[in-house]
Amino acid sequence: MYQLDMALPYSGLRIQASDDAITHIDFIHADAVQKKSSPTALLKECCHQLRAYVKQANFKFDLPLAMQGTDFQQAVWRQLQAIPWGETLTYGDVAEQLNSSPRAVGNACRRTPVPLIVPCHRVVAKTGIGGFAGDTEGGFLPIKVQLLRHEGLEF
């Protein structure tokens, strides 16, 4: 397992990868970003693509992913990857597509191992922004607001 930290305008990220796929991206506080690392070519490419997204919201990620999750979680994550930049769906919309419940979709979104690449920030509540990374107020929620604004949406 390999790891690299990087800073973005709104957060730090900790990226983990195996020899051939990105496995996790976690939001971390900017002051927790570790400067020392020996990045692999894949981690460098992931950072390059994340910076490209920061510069241009419609950037399309093209990275090998290895996401561990249940069959249902995998189905939700595939649905999320189909949401175009600059658009949102509600938890209920995704649930309807999968014959499930909004709460189950929210739980799967919370467990997305590679946020940003799997755009869980594009799923919102019926009457507001919803949660992000398990937070419904404070915490990581301001990051979701910034990501949506970056994509031209207001919440």
pLDDT score recorded for residue 31: 80
Q: Is 120 an active-site residue?
A: yes
Same-domain pairing of 135 and 98:
yes
Sheet holding 22-28, edge to edge: 2-8, 11-17, 22-28
Residue 61 lies in a domain: no
Query: Domain containing 6: what range?
Result: 2-55
pLDDT score recorded for residue 25: 96
Residue 66 lies in a domain: no
Domain count, the chain: 2
- DSSP annotation string for 32-75: G--------HHHHHHHHHHHHHHH-TT------B-----HHHHH
Same-domain pairing of 75 and 146:
yes
User: What CATH number did the domain enclosing 90 receive?
Assistant: 1.10.10.10
Could you tell me the pTM of the whole model?
0.92
pLDDT beneath 70, residues of the chain: none
* Active-site annotation holder among 46, 47, 109, 120: 120
pLDDT score recorded for residue 53: 96
Residue 128 lies in a domain: yes
pLDDT score recorded for residue 51: 96
